[in-house]
Each structure stands twice: as C-alpha cells, then as structure tokens.
Structure 1
Amino acid sequence: SKLDAEKFVGRVNLKECFQSANLIHSSDPDFQILEDGSVYTTNAVLSSEERSFSILLSNTENQEEKKILVLLQHQTKVLKKRHSKEKVLRRAKRRWAPIPCSMQENSLGPFPLFLQQIQSDTAQNYTIFYSIRGPGVDREPKNLFYVERDTGNLFCTRPVDREEYESFELIAFATTPDGYTPELPLPLVIRIEDENDNYPIFTEKTYVFTISENCRVGSTVGQVCATDKDEPDTMHTRLKYSIIEQLPAYPTLFSMHPTTGVITTSSSQLDRELIDKYQLKIKVQDMDGQYFGLQTTSICIINIDDVNDNLPTFTRTSYVTSVEENTVDVEILRVTVEDKDLMNTANWRANYTILKGNENENFKIVTDPKTNEGILCVVKPLNYEERKQVDLQIVVVNEAPYSKEGSLRSTMSTATVTVNVKNQDEGPECSPRVQTIQTKENVPVGTEIQGYKAYDPETRSSSGIRYKKLSDPKEWVRINENTGSITIFRNLDREAEMIRGGIYNITILASDKDGRSCTGTLGIILQDVNDNGPSIPKHTVVICKTVLSPSADIVAIDPDEPINGPPFDFRLENIPDSDIERTWRLTKINDTAARLFYEKDLPFGTYRISVRVADRHGRSLITPLKVLLCDCVTENDCTLRTDARTGGGDVRLGKWAILAILLGIALLFCILFTLVCGGTGAAKQPKVFPDDLAQQNLIVSNTEAPGDDKICSTDGFTTHTVGSSAQGVCGTMGSGVKNGGQESIEMVKGGHQTLESCRGTGHHHTLDSCRGGHVEVDTCRYTYSEWHNFTQPRLGEKVQLCNQDDKHKHAQDYVLTYNYEGKGSVAGSIGCCSERQEEDGLEFLDHLEPKFRTLAEACIKR
C-alpha cells in the first residue's frame, strides 16, 4: 500500500511490444519508465486500491504509437524463496550515488590503471552485475575504460591527453542476472587532470610594427599575443611576456608589459635619420614566468616612420646668372638643397618661393620632381635699358608642414640670386603703342599733320626709322615714310560709318634698316564742325482723329556734337498754292521735339507736308512728311489698317492675330455650310428662313468710302438694292456679285430666298463675297437670347440633314479636316458644329492687335 520514492516496482518487456520505439513515457507522473522497461516511482505512493497506468511507446519518424497497460495490485500472499536475487528486502541505506573520479593525463601506468569501485547497496540482497556505457567505452575513444562485472572496479587501459578529452561522462548500470535493474543508472564523470605539457605559442612568427620618430615616451608600438593549450585559469596557462634582446642594443628604447604583451616606447630619442629599424627578441613563458615554466620566443621588427623634422637647406647661399633681354620662357639657373628626411616623400620634396626682387613678375621658380632642384625661369621679358641687374631672394620649405615647434620663418633656408641682364640689339619700339592726334573734320585735302612716332630704345632717337601704313579703312590719309607724318587725302567726316566716338584709327608699321619692326595704332580725333542740319528720321506720322486731343509728336536728330545741335527750331515749309499754314500747326515740346496739330476739320486720309528743322547755329534741313489722319485709338492700329488696305508696307501678324483670322474664316464657312445644307434638305422638306433672322447676321466692318444707301422694311428687316436711295434706320446687308454683275439680296417676310442666291453657277463664295458695303450696328437687332433660342434647334436639324444623304450615307462634305496648328492652343477645336458653352478660354482675345478688335467682339457672347 506504500511505495517510497525512486522505488523499483517491476519491469516490462518493451521490445516485444514495439521494437522501433524512440519515445517512452508514462501516463502517470508518479511512475517513470527506463529504456530497459524498468518501472520506478518518482514520488512516494500511497494506495489502498488497485492502481493502473499506461506506458506509451511512439516512433516520431513514422508517427506510429503503441500502448501497454500496467496494473498494480496489493500483495495477498507471501512469495516463496526461489533464489537470492528474488528476495524482496527493504533497504536500510543506499550507496549508489555519483562518486568523484579523475585521472592524470599522460599517465605512465601501470595499465590497466585502477580508478575506483562502483557499488550498489542492493548487492546485499541481490546478485548484482555492473556495466558501463558512454564515451571511452562503446563510443570513441572505444575500450578506454572498462568495469569488472562482479566487483564494480573501474579501470583505464591507456594514457589520455587532456587537450583532446577534458572529461568522460559515463553511465553505470547495476542489474540482476535476470535483467532487472534495482537501481537507477548512475552518471559517472571521469575528469582528466591537466599536466603542463604544452608550450605557449606566439600567434605570429614575426611581428612588424611602425612608430613615428620623435614620439613621446609611453607611445604604444604594438601588442603581441600567445596561446597555451593547457587548462585555462591555471598556472599552466598563466603567461608572462618579456623582451630578451634589442638590436641595436643601445640605447634601450622599448619596454613590454608582462601580462598584456603591449610594447611601448621608453625614450623619446627615436631618430629615423640615425636608425630606421629596430629588432626585438621577445619571450613568453607559462607558470607565471617561473624558471620551470615552458617558454617560446619570437621576433618583433619595429620600423621608424619619418616625420618632417629636418628642413631643406641650400647647398650655396648665393648664385650669379645672366640672361639676354627680351627673352622669355628660358631656364637661367638651378639651385640645389639638402634634406635628411626620407626621399621622395612630402617631408623631403621642396617648394621654392621668390621672396624679394620679383615685383614685376619677370621670374618663376619651380621644383624638378626627380632631383628636387629649384629651376629659375624668365617668364616675362627683361629690358636692359630699364634694369641691368636684378637681385632675387629665394626661400625653400617642404611640402609637409614642419613638425617641430617654433617659428618656421626663423629656421627657413634662404639664398640670393643675382641676375645680370645682357644688352640686345633691338628694333624700333612703338611706345606707346596707341598714339592720338586731333584735327577738324573739315580740314582741307592736302593738309599735313603730325603722325606716328617710334624710336630706337638704345639711342632714344627716331632717326633711321621708316613708316608704312598697314590699315586705313576709308583711305583718308597718306603717310610720310621718313617722318611718320600724315597728309589728308580725302575729306574727313566725323559722322561717317565706322567712326566710333569721333576717332578714326589707322595702323602703322615702323621698321629699321635691319628689318626689325613694331606695329602701332594712330587714332585721329576728329573735331566736330557744324556741317549737318537736323533731320526727322520718321517720315510718316499718324494722327488718330478719334482721340481726345488729336496730334502727333515729331522728333529730330542731329549727328553733330551737342554744341552744334539742339535746341532745334521747327517750322512748316510753305508750298505755293497751298493752305498748309492754315491747316497745320506746330508747337514746341522740348529742345528736340515738336507737336503737330491740324487747325480745321479734315477727312480721313493721307496728307503731305514739309518741316524745316534748324539747329542752334541756324543750319537747317527740310524733311518731307506723310501724315496719316486715321480713325484709330493707337498709332499702330492705323498703320496696320492702312497697310492692309493699300497693299503697301509689311504687315506683321502675331500668332494670336493669325489664330483670330482662322477663327473668323472657320466661323463664316460654318454659317455658309449650314445654310447650304439647309438648301439641300429642302428637296425633301422645304426649309425657309423666318422673317426675324436677317438682322442678327450683321457683320461690322470699317470703311472710309461713302456708305451705301439703306432701306429698313416695315418688319425691321433691311432690303437693300443697288442704286436705291430710300431712307432707313438699319444697316445694309451688302451687295453680292454674280457672274460678273451686281445683284441685291432681298429678304422678304414669308419668302423662301436663301443664301443660294449669293452663289454663282460653278463658283463658290463665302460670306465675304456676299458682303459689299458698310454694315452699321443699330437698334433693329434682336437680343442674343432670342437669336440663340431660334438658331439652336434649327442648326441641329440642318446638321442632321448634312449628316446623311438620301441613302442614309454620310454626305460628301460633312467631314471637315483641319490642319494641325500646334500643341496647346488656347482657342480649342474649331468646327461648323462647335459651340462654346462658357465664356472661359477667350482671354487671349484681349491681347490681339487693334485690327481684330471688331472680330473679337463678334465672337464674344453678349
């Protein structure tokens, strides 16, 4: 009825039930199952009744499961003694527990070496056989350990290396001869005790470090490292580093930290220019550096890095050289320096500078990258007559900055260079290169004046120099070959073309007897005389008659100097048998402009007048003017209309003006096309225009011709007949031309006449051909809403008729093709059936030229 914890209960044969099971567990947590089928209690169990639980066997690979039912019953009779191993006795004391066990690595034996004895207290009641499993027994390294079956003595068969196997975890079993295990398996750990049998080893055979010269004491050079395979955190692996030897040996410059292996400088006397490399022999020893510890050595090479601690110095402090005058881009001297720093580095390469004596920038000094020499060159020609000797002071420094503290200028090396300038037989010198003389523009032909002068730079004389004219754009002068003076050959004109600022330039060539030459420019400053009267550059003036104060401004100019120019006097030049003075009037605005008025009412047209303008000295000039009297707002408006009507002048239209013309033409074609289609549809069902249609088709145009006669019918529509003189209040519809003759277009109330009467046989006309007169805007027009309400339904009917013919096919002239006018047109698409539903998009009409304002007004909904 009571079972203690970890009590052996019994054993079941699992292999007969499920041989391939790899997962075994009990359904009752109070019992556990071992792999051999032994059943043990996990906790103390008290039970007065029978108890049952299941052993679950499963194979996780194929998901197969089996179950064994175990029934525990109370013992009702005493078992007979069959064998000593079958005796059921209660244990009083247990000795089956893990026993510490270890062995020394690399043991010398004798083998087999006894380690310890394992024993179970169940041996008092049973015959117990002992066995072990695990690494070193049935797993690699196999057969290293074994146990005597009857005594439990554990033996080792050969030496073991701890660096290969630190320990062995075995499992010991105690079983009865019939296979029962009265004890739980015993974990048995055999630890291999370390022996100092491994030398410490440096991670590298040779260490290479670099340190800058002149570094401070304690600067880190580098760190070395060693490893030991013996057991960590023991004396066998406690390492100590040291420096055995330094080459060169003197002075001692480096030290090593015994624990970390960090190498540092112990002196600041590192000088690359003396010794650029040191070699250290280093040692590492275990057992914390004790004499019996194992040790290893290695080599450490320390390279000394260069710094700019040495300034370049000139090998000589003074130099003397020479150069011919007027020579350029020539090498005249090479200077050398010494530098102890590392060659071909920034610490060694020299930079030369001319400190004094090169104020005129005649010299330049550069460095030869191969030899580090300074090359002194002449880059600007010298003049012997100005300076016969030049003294230069040059200085040299390195590319890299100087590393030592203190004033660099006080330690820089300098040298002096004396440059002697050699004299050279030179040709004439044109100095200054540009010379000027003054003369009046009306000087008589043949007058001789001073010319260009060149001289010999050595003698400062002009004798023996010959002059020749190279350039004389207008051939106005001639030059004296010996003296350089010039003679006026043609009349000089200050106001002529190519004269800028009143100066006329000619080019002179001066040469000596040896053919050496120079070139100069002679500028003739032309003094102004009053030889030009003021004139009016604009010969056509426009007066817009419709403005508040109709007038035109006239501006005169005078090519002479201001002293011979304004103020101007404007006067009308009277023509015999004319009333110009009574018709026109001039008033002065300022010194250069006047305003033209007309005294009496004049009809629109072109008038000719002449204006005399005189300068302050009375020199005058008559300018004929053409005056256009127009019905306009701006001068440009009148000019465009006049040119278009007369066919004269160049009419330049902008892109919006062209677009407006195309829009107007397309609109007229659409109206005509709609009316024509309406006439075609009349074959089936006659369509006529109602009486109230004609007045809304008004086209406003300006004209300067006398207006046509007008007739206003009683119903408000105009009936116009060529030659009639009836009075009316409405504008004419115009006259049409048919077959070379004249015909009138009459719209009679209730009639059936359409625009077909405007078209001659075999000819095609637009509405322009049916319009011949002046149409005025009057009170007889209908409102826009009445016109819109009438035309919309009728236009839809006519378009539908145009869409199909008698056979319900598209009419031949229905599809209208338009040329592509470019991308982004603000006017949108244009077609005979198009209708703008809103006012937006017509802002471009505000920027059209004045000529198209009437067309723009006709296109905007009122």
Structure 2
Amino acid sequence: MDGRRVCVLMVLWAMTHLSCPGLGLRALRRTTGGRRAGLTGQDANGVPLRRSKRGWMWNQFFLLEEYTGTDMQYVGKLHSDSDRGDGSVKYVLTGDGAGTLFKIDEKSGDIHATKRLDREEKAYYILHAKAVNRFTNEALEGESEFIIKIHDINDNEPRFTKDPYMARVPEMSDIGTSVIQVTATDADDATYGNSARVVYSILEGQPYFSVDPETGLIKTALGSMDREVKENYQVVIQAKDMAGQMGGLSGTTTVSITLSDVNDNPPRFTKTLYEFRVPESNEVGSAVGVIRAMDADIGQNAEMDYRIIGSDGPGMFDIMTNKSTQDGIIVLRKPLDFERKRQYSLRVQVENVHINPRFYSMGPFRDEATIKIVVEDVDEPPVFEHGSYVMKAKEDAARNTVIGSVSASDPDDKNSLVRYSIDRRTDMDRVFNVHAGNGSVFILRELDREENAWHNISVIATEFNNPRQISRVPVYISVLDVNDNAPTFATNYETFVCENAKANQRIQTISATDPDEPLVGHRFYFSLAQDAAGKANFSVRDNKDNTAWILTRRNSYNSLQKSIYHVPVVISDGEFPMQSSTNTLTIRVCTCDREGNMKLCNAEALTARAGLSTGALVAILLCVIILLVIVVLFAALRRQRKKEPLIISKEDVRDNVVSYNDEGGGEEDTQAFDIGTLRNPEAIEESKQRRDIVPETFYPPVRRPVLPPTRDNNGDVRDFINQRLQDNDSDPTAPPYDSLATYAYEGNGSVAESLSSLESVTTEGDQDYNYLSEWGPRFKKLADMYGGDDSDRDS
C-alpha cells in the first residue's frame, strides 16, 4: 500500500476512534437507558414528566474508494440493546447495494463492502437497518436509515474539453494579446482536498505564447511575430491537479495557433524598367503589355491599384488592374502611328487598396516603375484625306463630266502609289467611274433626278506595290434638278356640263403637278390652246395660284347635237427653260334640274358622276372576269369528279343502245328500244310496254313528223334529237331513268355527196366545199357529243 493510501487510512482511523461527536461506532448503538417508562418528576406547570423509550440514532459510515485489499473492506457494526448474545436477534440490512455491495452478519451486525467502490461513479449509499427476533420475526427495533459515504482519493487526472484547439491571432500583435482559453476538468471531489484543483502550464510554444495557470487563457508573449516568416504554431498546454504539487495527476492538449495576415508589407515591382513592342496596327482597346508587382501579404491586404503618373503621350495609354491576378494591364486608347511617333515612355505607380494606418511608420505602401513602349512599323492600307465625300451633278450633265475627286495616300515611309476604282457592288448600273490615277469621279450615263435623286457609291484605293492593301471611302452624289419635265393635270378629271348651263358658269377647277422641284417652288400658267380659241365652247381662267377654272362660253348645250367636248388646256411652268404641255379635258353634256344637279346622262357621265374613274371601271371589269373564270374552272373540276359514266367508250355507245349499272335481266333488257326505229325515223313506232315496271295507265304513242336536215329546209339534227328526248320523257314505256339512250340519224342524202377526203383527192377539177361552213361544225359537234363516226358525217 503506497504512502498516499496509508495517509488516508490513518485519517479514517482517527475519525472513527477519537471521541468526536457522532463519529464513533458507539454512536451507532441504541442509547436508551432501559425499557420501562416511569414518572421522573414534574415540569414547571406541574405536568408529570414521563420517561419514553428512545429509538435508533444512526450516523454516517465512511468508506475509502478504490480499496485494493484482498479481504472484504470492513464498514462498521450494528448493535441493539435487545441483543443478549444468545443469538435470538437477527440484523437485517436493506437499501442501496444491500446484499450485493454491502453484506451484514445477521448475528454480529458487522457490515462489509464486497466490491471495490468508485466515488466518481456513486458518492454515497442510503441503507436501512432493523433488528428482529430470529424465531418470531418480530421487529425488536424500528427501521432506521443510515448513510455510507465514499471518501474520495485522487484517482482521476484532469481532462481538456477539446483536443486539439484551433485559434487565430493577427500577426505583429502586441504582447499579452489574448489568443484562446483552454479548460480542463477533474472528476475528483472538488470539495475535499486538492484532488480536483487544476493548475495550467505551457510545455511547448515558448517564448511566443504564455498561459495563465489559474484560468488557462493563452496570450502572446512576443510582439514581433511575422506571418510572412512563420504562420503556424503548435502550443502544448498541461493541466495538473493537487494544485500542481508533486504526486498530482496531469493531462495535456495541443493548441494550433495561426497568425492571420495584416497589411504590413507594401507592393514592390519586380523590375524598375519594363519594355514592350507593339505593332502600329493594334486596335484601340487592345492590351499592349502586362506588369506585375509582388506583395507578401495575402487576401485583400494584397489588392493593388495601378495608375499612370507620367507619360510623353498623354491619353495614348491607360492601365487597368486584373482583380483576380492583381496584374496591371496596359491598354491602348488612341491609334498608333509609326511614322508619327515610334516610342513612348510611361511612369507607373502601384499602391495597396487597403492600407493599415498602424504600419505607416514602416514607410510608403507604394512603388514606381518605368515602362517603355516601342511602336513597330506595319504595311498599312492607303488612307483617304476625308472619311467620306459629297459630290453634286446636274441631271442634264453630259457623259464623262467630272463631278469631283477623291484622294488617298500610303501612310508608310515607302509611300507606294495608289490606284482608284469603283466598288461595283455599290454601282451595279455602272453610272459612275473614277480615274485610276488621280481619283477624278465622272459620269458614264445620263442622270435623272426624278428617277434617283441620290447615288451612294464606294471608291476603292489600292496600293500599287501591294494590291492586298486596300481601303474604301463612301461617296454621296446628289443629282441637281433641271427643269426637264412639263407640268400635267394633277388628276384625271371627269367633268360634265348641264344642258341648261349659263354663260361664264364655272364647271371645273383644275390644278397641275410637275416632278421637277424648283428652289422657289412651282408656278403654273393655264391657258386655252390657240388652235381651239376661235371655236371654243369653253374658256380657261388662270387664278394665278396654280389653279384654273373651266367656264362655259354660251347659255345652253344640247346632248343630242353633241354629247362630248374636248377642251385642250395648255399648262406651262415658270422655270428656265420653260416647259409646257397640252392636256385634254373631256366634258360631257348631261340633263340637269334647275339647281344644276345631273338627272340624265350617258353611261360614262353617270360613272363619272358616281365618282368612278375609267381606271376604276377597268379594275372592276377585270375582277368580274376573274370571278367568271374561277366559276368555270370550279364547274369543270366538279364534272371531272363525277361518277364514271355507264358507257366507257364510243364503241359501247354504238353497240349497246341501253346500258344499266345494275344486274339486268339478260337479253330481254335489249328489247327496251327498237334499234331499227332509232336509225330510221320514218319507220312506224310500235307501242311497247316496259318490262321493268308496270305502268298504271297506257298512253298511246304520239307520232310526230320528222324531217331530215337539208340545206333547203329549216330542219336540223338538233330538232330531231329534241323531239326524241321529248317523246322518251313522255312515254311511260321508256327505259329506266338511269339508262343512256343514244340516237344516230342516217339522212337521205347530202348535196355535198361524200365527205371523204380520199374521194376529194382523186376527183378531178374543183370541188365545192361551201357546205362545210354550215354543216361541218354541226356534224363534228354532234359526233363528239353522241358518239358518231365518219360514216355519220357522210350522212
């Protein structure tokens, strides 16, 4: 048994055997003086005092935890005054752990612990004891409660709440800056001794950090810690109980401390002079070069801002900061020209965006560098003197007239010759051309301002030595107006005059139009043609406001004598050279009432009165014709879609007089008509009854005289056919209604004799073919309609 446990046992022995109130084993015995109760006197009030029996009085038992002996650990002894030592008293123990952790000797009352106890698991046990008669099981004493308390020993080391701890502290922090607080706990009893009193100390991490021994607060111990030198630190903290005395238990934890960055470093260029070469053909907005400054800081502390603080080409360049890489990008802002300036020098400065005032004393947080930009020569296309050209040409200008010129030159030092040409994609009609050597633009065709007032073309300039170097310039050509069009009526006038009109009566107001556009505006002059002035029925009065009145020159007009008058009106403009034209005004004579309202006029006048012009009438007529054509085509299509005819070919029509589309009765159906009767109209028709139906009544056949068609009478094959159709419709014995009847007529003869072309070839002499003009088309039409052949035409 080690010294620590010996000390504890000695303390427990002293507490048990010394005469401390409530701690001796004797205090566990019954303290009554006897079993009888009697009067012992009276109190102040005269009430007799009676001695009563006192019950069990129990105190605490103390038991050392973590007992390591081989025998059961003795706890204490129970004893009752009723116990005479004859074995009649039985001691009974109940409560926490009774019978398992704690056992009692029924005869002697000795209590022992059967197992090793841990105070951190359970600090005390509450039990109940009583004494009973072993034979009768009667209670000799009332049940009483007592406590077995476990005495603590230092058997638990301190434990930290985390392992490892993570912490951050800004670099260059002052000494004593708090970093993090660590905490360790001890499971031993903090109210008894120093077993749970913890003291903190630092094992690793000095001299950079320190720890408060009582609170566990870690602080910085060095004020010059630089993140750029060392960023991460591992600190080991120890917690020891027994107030840190020898023999105490301890535990450790690791604290990982990272220095966070502060802006304590300025940006620095890697070079003091940068040089870039750029072709003069670079476009505006393109990057010329990239520069970079280094900053030992990170994050926003390393964000930089570049700017140009000096340049021998103001406005030529600009510098921008790439936010992701913190590079400085030099951008071209104006076009470069090798021939004008071949080199530029820039002074550039870089500075941190976020500056920490705490570190101003360390110096300026900026840096400067020089940039040299060399412009390289590039073979450039010709350059026109102007970005665009505007030229003017009169519309009556002659061909090959020069209307202007363009000029371009080679901007390179070699100064190559330039050739000019027209971009034919902008002048597909080949109206203009340009002189290849001097750039003079001239006309190839006559111009017409009324057709096209502006022409937009492009002229191409090409280097003679390098045809791939070309440039274009737009040329806008305005066609100037020339008075080359005569004025005409502003519209197509439809005018009428009443028969009862009076002299000098206005019947129409006319105006004029002219496609020319004079600078001062139009001025038209109206007059009556000289050749009609002597015999004119109407006069023209110029109103001097570009309008004129048509006036009557007599009192009455007669539509029966003359219904239409044509008045020639001369219209001229006031420009130079003066242009004039004669326009005819048509005036119709109409019957009017007293108020001058038209009552009766010819169709054309009515149309005019209704407000319809000749063009409108033509349009309406065309629409009607188109509608008729559509109707005819629609009807033709409907005929083509009809059911297939019963008789397929001409041969069927000739060989079969009657054709059914259903199952017939055989040969009996062919008796519906007498073929001989059809071919010989003079044959007597016999009355035959239809076999497919039973007529309700019989109607006697009607016989009508039939005359063959000849040139001498008015008979016609058409009359013959119509008569047959009427007879067939009125005859109840006629074939069914879905049958087709074909009539072939054989005439008695023809004055033309034979129509055969063979006979006409072999016959000598001239032959009269006049009959063809009358009967030929008719027989052809009948043959096509009713299935006739050449033999029928001969008939």
1:213 correspondence with 2:171: yes
Alignment check: 8 A CA contact 2:538 2:551 kept: no
Hey, what's the Cα distance between the residues in 2 that align with 1:255 and 1:555? 113
Q: Is the 8 A contact 1:324 1:424 kept in 2?
A: yes
Tell me the TM-score normalised to structure 2 length: 0.54
Q: Distance in 2 between matches of 1:122 and 1:648?
A: 150
- In structure 2, the partner of 1:133 is 94
- Counterpart of 1:160, as a letter, is L
Question: Residue 115 of structure 1 contacts residue 154 of structure 1 at CA under 8 Å; is this kept in 2?
Answer: yes
Question: Do the aligned residues in 2 keep the contact of 1:285 with 1:295 (CA within 8 Å)?
Answer: yes
8 Å Cα contact 2:131-2:141 kept in structure 1: yes
Q: Which residue of 2 aligns with 1:421?
A: 375
Alpha-carbon separation, structure 2, partners of 1:414 and 1:541? 91
Counterpart check, 1:168 vs 2:121: no
Equivalences for residues 27-176 of structure 1 within 5 A: 92-107=52-67, 111-119=71-79, 128-138=89-99, 142=100, 144-176=101-133
The 1:646/1:389 distance shift into structure 2, 3 A limit, reads closer
- Per-residue CA shift, 1:46-74, capped at 9, x if unaligned? xxxxxxxxxxxxxxxxxxxxxxxxxxxxx
Within 5 A, what are the aligned runs for 1:832-843?
none
C-alpha distance in 2 between matches for 1:174 and 1:554: 151
Secondary structure (helix, strand or coil) at the match of 1:188 reads strand
* Residue among 200, 207, 213 paired with 1:241: 200
Residues 626 and 646 (structure 1), Cα distance of their counterparts in 2 relative to 1, 3 Å cut: farther
Alpha-carbon contact 1:586-1:597 (below 8 Å) kept: no
Q: How has the CA–CA distance of structure 1 residues 428 and 224 changed in structure 2, closer, same or farther, with 3 Å as cutoff?
A: same
**Which of 512, 519, 523 pairs up with 1:563?**
519
Amino acid across the alignment from 2:474: T
Distance (whole Å) between structure 1 residues aligned to residue 94 and residue 551 of structure 2: 136
Distance 1:314 1:620, change over 3 A: farther
Q: Does structure 1 conserve the Cα–Cα contact (< 8 Å) formed by 2:456 and 2:474? A: no
SS in 1 for 2:384: coil
Once residues 104 and 625 of structure 1 are traced to their aligned partners in structure 2, the CA distance between those partners, rounded to angstroms, is 145
Distance 1:171 1:519, change over 3 A: same
Aligned residue number for residue 662 of structure 1 = none
Task: Kindly provide the amino acid, as one letter, of the partner of residue 186 in structure 2.
Answer: D
Paired AA for residue 224 in structure 1: V
Answering whether residue 482 of structure 2 is matched by residue 525 of structure 1, we say no
CA, structure 1 residues 162+406, in 2 after alignment: closer, same or farther (shift >3 Å)? closer
Q: Percent identity?
A: 28
Counterpart in 1 of 2:36? none
Kindly indicate whether the alpha-carbon contact (under 8 Å) linking 1:643 and 1:649 is maintained by their aligned counterparts in 2: no
The 10-residue stretch of structure 1 (94-103 or 104-113) with the greater mean CA deviation from structure 2: 104-113
* CA offsets 1:447-481 (integer angstroms, 9 cap, x no match): 224311111325797x8322111132442222211
Q: Does structure 1 conserve the Cα–Cα contact (< 8 Å) formed by 2:315 and 2:333? A: no
**1:226 aligned to 179, 184, 200, which one?**
184
Measure, in 2, the Cα distance between the counterparts of 1:519 and 1:607. Answer: 62
Deviations 1:699-724 (A, max 9, x none): xxxxxxxxxxxxxxxxxxxxxxxxxx
Q: Deviations over 1:587-615 (max 9, x none)?
A: 89xx8999999999xxxxx9999998876
Cα distance in 1 for partners of 2:586, 2:250 equals 123
Retained in 1: the 8 A contact 2:234–2:255? yes
Cα gap change, 1:645 to 1:378, in 2 (>3 Å): closer
State how far apart, in whole Å, the 2-side matches of 1:346 and 1:233 are.
53
Give the letter aligned to residue 419 of structure 1. Answer: I
SS in 2 for 1:273: coil
3-state SS of the aligned residue for 1:563?
coil
Q: CA separation of 1:645/1:301 partners in 2, compared to 1, >3 Å: closer, same or farther?
A: same
Residue type of the alignment partner of 2:400: G
CA apart distance, 1:193: 2.0
Supply the distance in 1 between the matched residues of 2:102 and 2:551 (Cα, whole angstroms).
140
1:320: how far off? Answer: 3.9
Instruction: For 1:228, give the aligned amino acid.
Output: D
Q: Describe the SS at the equivalent of 2:423.
A: strand
- The residue number in structure 1 matching 2:717 is none
User: Contact 1:451–1:485 at 8 Å: present in 2 too?
Assistant: yes
Residue 493 of structure 1 and its aligned partner are, at CA, apart by 2.9
**Cα distance change, pair 612–161 in 1 and its aligned pair in 2 (3 A):** farther
Q: 1:93 to 1:436 in 2, by over 3 A?
A: same
Determine the C-alpha separation between the residues in 2 that align with 1:593 and 1:259.
119
Kept after mapping to 2: 8 A contact 1:539/1:624:
no
Paired position in structure 2 for 1:512: 464
Query: Partner amino acid for 2:149?
Result: R
Q: In the TM superposition, what whole-angstrom CA distance separates every residue of 1:176-212 from its partner, at most 9, and x where no partner exists? A: 3323346554333322121121110223443332223
Q: 1:293 to 1:477 in 2, by over 3 A?
A: same
Q: Amino acid of the residue matched to residue 127 of structure 2? A: L
Deviation at 1:348, TM superposition (A): 4.7
Kindly indicate whether residue 384 of structure 2 is the aligned counterpart of residue 430 of structure 1: yes
Q: Is the 8 A contact 1:240 1:285 kept in 2?
A: yes
- Separation of aligned partners in 1, 2:471 and 2:440: 17
3-state SS of 2:195 partner:
helix
Deviation at 1:483, TM superposition (A): 1.1
Alpha-carbon separation, structure 2, partners of 1:506 and 1:314: 51
- Structure 1 residues 630, 229: closer, same or farther in 2, change over 3 A? farther
Give the equivalent residue in structure 1 for 2:27.
none
- Give the equivalent residue in structure 2 for 1:402: 355
Contact kept in structure 1, 2:267 and 2:365, CA below 8 Å: no
Q: Shift of the alpha carbon at 1:242? A: 3.0
1:496 shift after superposition = 2.8
1:158 to partner: Cα distance: 4.4
Residue correspondence of structure 1 range 326-365 to structure 2 within 5 A = 326-327=281-282, 335-342=291-298, 347-348=301-302, 352-357=306-311, 359-360=314-315
- Distance in 2 (alpha carbons) for counterparts of 1:229 and 1:148: 34
Match among 184, 194, 201 for residue 152 of structure 2: 194
Whole-angstrom distance in 1 between the partners of 2:510 and 2:213: 109
The CA RMSD over aligned residues, in Å, is 5.3
Return the offset for 1:391. 1.8
Would the aligned equivalents of 1:105 and 1:193 in 2 still touch at CA under 8 Å? yes
The answer (yes or no) to whether the contact 2:567–2:584 under 8 Å persists in 1 is yes
Do the aligned residues in 1 keep the contact of 2:175 with 2:220 (CA within 8 Å)?
yes
Shift in alpha-carbon separation, 1:292–1:512, aligned structure 2, 3 A: same
Q: 1:337 to 1:561 in 2, by over 3 A?
A: same
1:133 partner amino acid: T
Task: Map 1:219-618 to 2 at 5 A.
Answer: 219-232=177-190, 235-247=194-206, 249=207, 252=208, 254-265=209-220, 268-290=223-245, 293-327=248-282, 335-342=291-298, 347-348=301-302, 352-357=306-311, 359-360=314-315, 381-397=335-351, 401-404=354-357, 411-458=365-412, 464-471=417-424, 472-497=427-452, 499=453, 502=454, 504-515=456-467, 516-532=469-485, 560-561=516-517, 563-566=519-522, 617=575
Deviation at 1:484, TM superposition (A): 1.1
Q: 1:321: Cα distance to partner? A: 4.1
Question: Once the two structures are superposed, what CA deviation does each residue of 1:626-669 show, in whole Å capped at 9, x if it has no partner?
Answer: 999999xxxxx9899x9899836999xxxxxxxxxxxxxxxxxx
Task: Decide whether the 8 Å contact of 1:564 with 1:615 is kept in 2.
Answer: no
Instruction: Tell me if the contact between 1:91 and 1:122 (Cα under 8 Å) persists in the aligned partners.
Output: no
CA gap of 1:150–1:259, structure 2 versus 1, over 3 A, is same
What do the CA deviations read for 1:3-54 (whole angstroms, capped 9, x no partner)? xxxxxxxxxxxxxxxxxxxxxxxxxxxxxxxxxxxxxxxxxxxxxxxxxxxx
Does the 8 Å CA contact 2:487/2:572 hold for their aligned counterparts?
A: yes
Can you give the 5+ residue segments of structure 1 that lack an aligned partner in the other structure?
Answer: 1-89, 544-550, 601-605, 632-636, 652-862
Q: 1:561 to 1:119 in 2, by over 3 A?
A: farther
> Cα distance 1:531–1:288, how it changes in 2: closer, same or farther (>3 A)?
farther
Question: The residue matched to 1:647 in structure 2 has which SS?
Answer: helix
Instruction: State the SS of the aligned residue for 1:96.
Output: coil
Specify the code of the residue in structure 1 equivalent to 2:161: T
